[in-house]
Structure 1
Amino acid sequence: MANNCVWGMLFCVLLLSVFTECAPEGSLVTHLPGFNGSFPSKHYSGYVEVDGKNLFYYLVVSERSPPQDPVVLWLNGGPGCSSFDGFIYEHGPFNFEVGKSEKALPKLHLNGYSWSKVSNIIYLESPCGVGLSYSSDTGKYVTGDLDTASTTHAFLLKWFKLFPEFINNPFYIAGESYAGIYVPTLAAELAKGTKRGVKPINFKGYMVGNGVTDEKFDGTALVPFAHGMALISDDIFNEVYNSCGVLYYNNNSETCYASLEKVSQAIAGLNIYDILEPCYHYPGSAKKEDANESTSLPLSFQMLGGTERPLAVRKRMFGRAWPLWATVKDGPVPLWPQLAEKYHVACINDDVATTWLNNAEVREAIHAAPVNVSGPWELCTRKISYNHDAGSMIPYHKNLTSLNYRVLIYSGDHDMCVPYTGSEAWTRSLGYKTSSAWRSWWSNNQVAGYLQEYDNKLTFLTIKGAGHTVPEYKPSEALDFYTRWLDRKPI
């Protein structure tokens, strides 16, 4: 096997038209429960061990041209949320149809807008303890930004040794929400390796969607967003700044809290991940009066009231990032399940993914450990202990863009969780000269959003009508900008 891989690597280098498989034995996914038909490309999955941590990956090989197409690592956020969120609900190779009975497996249909149409994409369960990744040592579940970046870098070095046929493909990192921390910190690790002369990975850049970035910019994004979207009045908007100042998220005075409570009451009942979408509530829990109970935290942490309106298929909207003005600060980070024990987190339902990934036949098919070894799959875990220790991402982005890496920052413009207003502000704050002024970009003969390009290969882009998880809301438009950006074509 090893000798075959060496020759395969040489062929990949010298003859790009030849694509020789060197995948680890037993990693090929031959079937998936719930799907009838042939895969449009090959799938591989399994574990890579890093310092006692068994990190699970799922590789979908490109449907277009595997030897030339980029390799993209996808990371979901949380922290502590599974990247199968992206696989199942966003840009994976399948669309999942709810089973006919409560315990029935969902049916899988090919997704015409999968990002594997144009890229080899790796979905990684990170950090250890998330999703299908596990360790026999619970101490491995204590982690943070810097440790996660270092471990993921080590994973990549091992992964490319297992799949040497991809070693010369352009490599990108992509993610959303708290992956706004994961992505640039991992990119910094790769950049350090390149600087030291160790370059086993052909790293070219990264993309972040609706990503957590910086306490100040994230913390001051909501009120301008709510005002611009006509969710709060001019009077409430002006009152917040008069009572709280510009850094309203960090003002604990009674007068400021009273003003922010008016904002909370105005937006109560909305789906914070997409203000245009209905919000799913657990039966019997959606009572508006509950949203007015007193608490020591802003009302954004309490149940958002409203009528019971379940969504058609993809009902869960849980665990992607910090809600509203509860910004990420240095130190221990409360996980979503921990918040949910005390406060109702709105719009929660991940039944499809939970049913599928906790099925024994599915786990066997994707070479995942059984439930009694890795534990049940959860969209967002409560097992890990996570510390935000990397600080603001602004210095990371500044350094990486100065090193000539390509960077795309994109935002669904109707996300209220990590609003575009913060992302637009921090990209502008880097101080780069505008190379392409604010303009619309088009998809399917329609305006699909807006973008602004800066020197140093930095682009900020919005997707019109999309929420926090852009490919879930606008799959066609998402594949469109993703393809053009990876192919280095104008968006």
Structure 2
Amino acid sequence: MAGMTKISILCITCCLLMTMTTEAAPQGSLVTQLPGFNGTFPSNHYSGYVSIGGKHLFYYLVVSEGNPAEDPVVLWLNGGPGCSSFDGFVYEHGPFNFEQKSKGAMPTLHLNPYSWSKVSNILYLDSPAGVGFSYSEDPSQYVTGDLQTASDTHAFLLSWFQQYPEFLSNPFYISGESYAGVYVPTLSFQVATGIQNGTKPLLNLKGYMVGNGVTDRKFDGNALVPFAHGMALISDQIYEGVIEACGINYSNSTSPKCDEKLQLVGQAIAGLNIYDVLEPCYHDPGTKSGNTTSTKNSNLPSSFQQLGKSSEKPLGVRKRMFGRAWPFQAPVEDGFVPLWPQLAAQSNSRDVPCFDDEVATKWLNDPAVREAIHAKPASVSGPWELCTDRIRYYHDAGSMIPYHQNLTAKGYKALIFSGDHDMCVPYTGSQAWTRSLGYKIVDQWRSWQSNDQVAGYLQAYENNLTFLTVKGAGHTVPEYKPQEALDFYSRWLAGKPI
């Protein structure tokens, strides 16, 4: 019921957008070259700013390498909150692979054979204002939350499609991962309501997709223990002890006995890479013996563990390190959401926890790169950071389940996908909440294939809802399994069986 109240608030903001006026086509938005790349772009690239109420939102469009006039337009949003969608551009499904040949050097760019621009026009957006290259001259506008972000992004889309009217008739999809599990359904609902109300320009929304997405406090909070048990990370005895002391809904327990049992879970999984339990864990060299179980004194919950950054890593390769014993991303509580750099600072870390993003940071802060992509200089928009602490963000939209129910009931197709080795937002939670909708199963649990190999599993429901796992993938699926990601993405967009 609370979630539906938030939806009603979004309905009201939709009506306010109906008075927008048509803007002129963007001038000088074509990207003609990029430092580090010496070849020919397989398709056109455009980038620039759309201003919404004093907020300047930065976008980068990669036109489809297939049939731009008919291929879908897909908006991509990274999560955080507070993280730039250039994370997806540089490390996941963008048009280039980035190679750093020596430490500190500018990267060399090579064409990515698994870019999502192979089959779609893909639009990367830094949102909300204050994230990535997006900015405002008024610092008070950096205080925001789920509902305001959805409203601003809808306004951005209406203005953007006015500037690029050639894409208005293309099928339009909204996509993202991690905290975009909140961004995507709230924005999709806003767009759907605008369509229903006749908001111009009329967007051709067909559906949305969410990867390893934050969704619901109870389902996300109860996901880790079954995941850890299924992955043989905790013993039967630990698992049974948690169930006995906490019951099956332990995510908000106030029982000391339950807390004691959950502490055993935390101890067992300490030291693992929470973003992919198959990957190595890199620790701060200053952390004695790689110990990640000590907790710094702070105002954070005791479950937050030491964060760090490794100084020894293969050049040009991003490494994700252990962030904390309990999942760093989920569950997310209502109200103020601590941002990743803020959490890192509380734990005396030097950087955004669990990420080494030297390549992206080096490239995107180079003045020549910023000029080439029409981003404002650092003196205006600030330095580019993977995840910022410049904004103050509030989770004020409640559970996403009512949004999913509303959208799928209206006929919008939805793909909920999960890297099955992510411990940050485990697949167990996504599988549980999709099942909880009570929809009839139309495609029973089965494997799906990529390159003649089993690539994961899926279960499809009525109302065009599909839950899909990607075998061996972590939190950012296209980064870990690029070929498999392009395969399911292409098939789903084309309406073909996965």
2:134 paired residue number: 133
Which residue of 42, 64, 67 maps to 2:69?
67
1:4 paired residue number: none
Distance in structure 2 (CA, Å) of the matches to 1:196 and 1:54: 26
Aligned partner letter, 2:305: Q
Instruction: Find the residue that maps to 2:449 and give its secondary structure.
Output: strand
Distance in structure 2 (CA, Å) of the matches to 1:297 and 1:382: 16
Aligned partner letter, 1:211: G
CA-to-partner distance for each residue in 1:41-92, whole Å, 9 max, x for gaps? 0000000000000000000000000000000000000001000000000000
The alignment of Structure 1 onto Structure 2 pairs a total of residues equal to 469
Distance in structure 2 (CA, Å) of the matches to 1:118 and 1:290: 42
Larger mean CA deviation between 126-135 and 191-200 belongs to: 191-200
Distance in structure 2 (CA, Å) of the matches to 1:264 and 1:382: 27
2:431 paired residue number: 424
Instruction: Find the residue that maps to 1:37 and give its secondary structure.
Output: coil
Gaps of 5+ in 2: 1-23
Larger mean CA deviation between 206-215 and 285-294 belongs to: 285-294
Distance in structure 1 (CA, Å) of the matches to 2:122 and 2:45: 10
Instruction: Find the residue that maps to 1:73 and give its secondary structure.
Output: strand
Is residue 438 of structure 1 aligned with residue 445 of structure 2? yes
Distance in structure 1 (CA, Å) of the matches to 2:429 and 2:161: 35
Is residue 111 of structure 1 aligned with residue 112 of structure 2? yes
1:415 paired residue number: 422
Aligned partner letter, 1:166: F
Is residue 366 of structure 1 aligned with residue 368 of structure 2? no
1:195 paired residue number: 196
1:51 paired residue number: 53
Cα drift, residue 249 of structure 1: 2.0
Cα drift, residue 309 of structure 1: 6.7
Distance in structure 1 (CA, Å) of the matches to 2:97 and 2:288: 29
The alpha-carbon distance between structure 1 residues 291 and 346, as it changes in their structure 2 partners (threshold 3 A), is: farther
2:342 paired residue number: 338
Cα drift, residue 98 of structure 1: 1.5
1:313 paired residue number: 316
The alpha-carbon distance between structure 1 residues 121 and 248, as it changes in their structure 2 partners (threshold 3 A), is: same
The alpha-carbon distance between structure 1 residues 410 and 320, as it changes in their structure 2 partners (threshold 3 A), is: farther
2:180 paired residue number: 179
2:469 paired residue number: 462
Instruction: Find the residue that maps to 1:436 and give its secondary structure.
Output: strand
Q: Any conservation in 1 of the 2:340–2:353 contact (CA below 8 Å)?
A: no
Distance in structure 1 (CA, Å) of the matches to 2:288 and 2:373: 37
1:270 paired residue number: 272
CA-to-partner distance for each residue in 1:365-391, whole Å, 9 max, x for gaps? 000000111111111000101111100
CA-to-partner distance for each residue in 1:218-266, whole Å, 9 max, x for gaps? 0000000000000000000011122222222212333222211111111
Gaps of 5+ in 1: 1-21
Q: Any conservation in 2 of the 1:56–1:124 contact (CA below 8 Å)?
A: yes
Correspondence 1:202-221 to 2 at 5 A? 202-221=204-223
Aligned partner letter, 2:160: W
Aligned partner letter, 1:174: S
TM-score (norm 2): 0.90
2:125 paired residue number: 124
Distance in structure 2 (CA, Å) of the matches to 1:184 and 1:311: 37
Which residue of 480, 488, 491 maps to 2:487?
480
Cα drift, residue 306 of structure 1: 12
The alpha-carbon distance between structure 1 residues 62 and 272, as it changes in their structure 2 partners (threshold 3 A), is: same
Which residue of 238, 241, 245 maps to 2:240?
238
Cα drift, residue 300 of structure 1: 4.8
Instruction: Find the residue that maps to 1:250 and give its secondary structure.
Output: coil
Aligned partner letter, 2:436: S
2:83 paired residue number: 81
Cα drift, residue 323 of structure 1: 2.5
Correspondence 1:259-408 to 2 at 5 A? 259-285=261-287, 287-289=289-291, 291-293=293-295, 300-303=303-306, 310=313, 313-317=316-320, 323=327, 327-343=331-347, 344=349, 347-408=354-415
Aligned partner letter, 1:243: A
Q: Any conservation in 1 of the 2:282–2:321 contact (CA below 8 Å)?
A: no
